[in-house]
């Protein structure tokens, strides 16, 4: 575990302890799913929930607190901001990098911001609730384009990642074999993903390339993408296994 991971693990342990002592939920800032998976090392399964604004968010907040012990549920303190050009006809072509840079130029740290979904030259930001008013007030331009910013209730369906229903055949149902097939990697390169701690299963870090997946589990691979595993379909005469996956595109 590197120094950055140790720092985050310590922070998660502090948040978990505070939740137990105070009887209220505590929340982290936004982190990648790989980093957020350390929350499950800081607290028990029933004390941790990860959420980034959608079921498929790449950047998530960790919430600590056992709902049975606390006695109630609570929404995550996450807001959705819609940022769009005031005059679309005269706007620059705006990218993810442009929107992120405009937010960071306000003096906001990266871990205060979750996913940014760019759609038709506008963007939907997931941000910590406490910053929403300030961002809406201060964010006036992205590149050279004047923009408006408002809090919205949800992201339109056509802005969310799409799923491709795919069928693959592998020599083994091991996870490294599946990733090698899906992402066109050698078996050695697929195994290296686990050594580099780039693979999570339903938000939990996976270090074992020999893992056999359960159905309906979500696999995220940093730098490559995400897929949902939906089980074995058949076995060929040569002993290979046919699998169904839904890949995010």
State which of 24, 44, 70 marks the end of a domain: 70
Indicate if 168 and 154 belong to the same structural domain. no
User: Which pLDDT belongs to residue 2?
Assistant: 79
Tokens of residue 200, six digits:
């999570």
User: Which pLDDT belongs to residue 5?
Assistant: 86
Half-sphere exposure of 141 (CA within 13 A, CB side): 6
Indicate if 218 and 233 belong to the same structural domain. yes
Indicate if 84 and 61 belong to the same structural domain. no
Domain of residue 221, CATH code: 3.10.290.10
Indicate if 182 and 153 belong to the same structural domain. no
How many domains in the chain?
3
Asked whether residue 1 carries a pLDDT value surpassing 80, the answer given is no
Asked whether residue 61 carries a pLDDT value surpassing 90, the answer given is yes
Distance from chain centroid for Cα 211: 21
For residue 194, CA distances in Å to 70, 139, 221 come to 36, 39, 9
Domain interval for residue 40: 3-70
Indicate if 12 and 46 belong to the same structural domain. yes
Indicate if 192 and 141 belong to the same structural domain. no
User: Which pLDDT belongs to residue 190?
Assistant: 96
Indicate if 48 and 91 belong to the same structural domain. no
Domain of residue 142, CATH code: 3.30.70.330
* pLDDT tens per residue across span 145-187: 999 999 999 999 888 888 899 999 999 999 999 999 999 999 9
State which of 113, 143, 159 marks the end of a domain: 159
Residue 66 pairs in a beta bridge with none
* pLDDT tens per residue across span 20-60: 999 999 999 999 988 999 999 999 999 999 999 998 898 99
Give this prediction's pTM: 0.83
Indicate if 206 and 218 belong to the same structural domain. yes
User: Which pLDDT belongs to residue 238?
Assistant: 87
Indicate if 89 and 62 belong to the same structural domain. no
Domain of residue 62, CATH code: 3.30.1370
For residue 8, CA distances in Å to 4, 96, 107, 124, 223 come to 6, 26, 22, 27, 21
User: Which pLDDT belongs to residue 112?
Assistant: 96
State which of 70, 93, 114 marks the end of a domain: 70
Indicate if 11 and 64 belong to the same structural domain. yes
Indicate if 33 and 98 belong to the same structural domain. no
User: Which pLDDT belongs to residue 20?
Assistant: 96
Indicate if 145 and 85 belong to the same structural domain. yes
* pLDDT tens per residue across span 194-247: 999 999 998 889 999 999 999 999 999 998 999 999 999 999 988 899 999 999
């Amino acid at each position: 575990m590197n120094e950055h991971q140790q720092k985050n693990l310590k922070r998660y342990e502090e948040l978990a302890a505070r939740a137990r002592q105070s009887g209220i939920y505590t929340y982290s800032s936004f982190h990648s799913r790989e980093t957020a998976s350390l929350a499950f090392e800081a607290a028990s399964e029933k004390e941790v929930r990860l959420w980034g604004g959608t079921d498929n968010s790449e950047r998530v907040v960790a919430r600590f607190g056992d709902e049975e012990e606390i006695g109630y549920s609570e929404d995550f303190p996450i807001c959705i901001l819609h940022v769009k050009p005031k005059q679309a006809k005269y706007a620059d072509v705006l990218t993810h990098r442009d929107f992120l840079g405009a937010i960071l130029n306000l003096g906001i740290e990266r871990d205060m911001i979750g996913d940014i979904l760019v759609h038709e030259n506008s963007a939907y930001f997931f941000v910590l609730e406490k910053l929403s008013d300030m961002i809406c007030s201060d964010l006036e331009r992205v590149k050279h384009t004047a923009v408006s910013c408002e809090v919205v209730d949800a992201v339109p369906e056509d802005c969310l990642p799409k799923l491709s229903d795919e069928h693959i055949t592998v020599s083994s149902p091991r996870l490294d074999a599946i990733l090698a097939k899906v992402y066109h990697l050698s078996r050695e390169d697929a195994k290296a993903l686990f050594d580099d701690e780039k693979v999570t299963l339903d938000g939990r870090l996976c270090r074992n390339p020999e893992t056999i997946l359960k159905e309906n589990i979500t696999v995220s691979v940093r730098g490559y993408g995400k897929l949902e595993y939906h089980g074995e379909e058949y076995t060929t005469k040569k002993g290979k296994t046919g699998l169904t996956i839904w890949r995010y595109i």
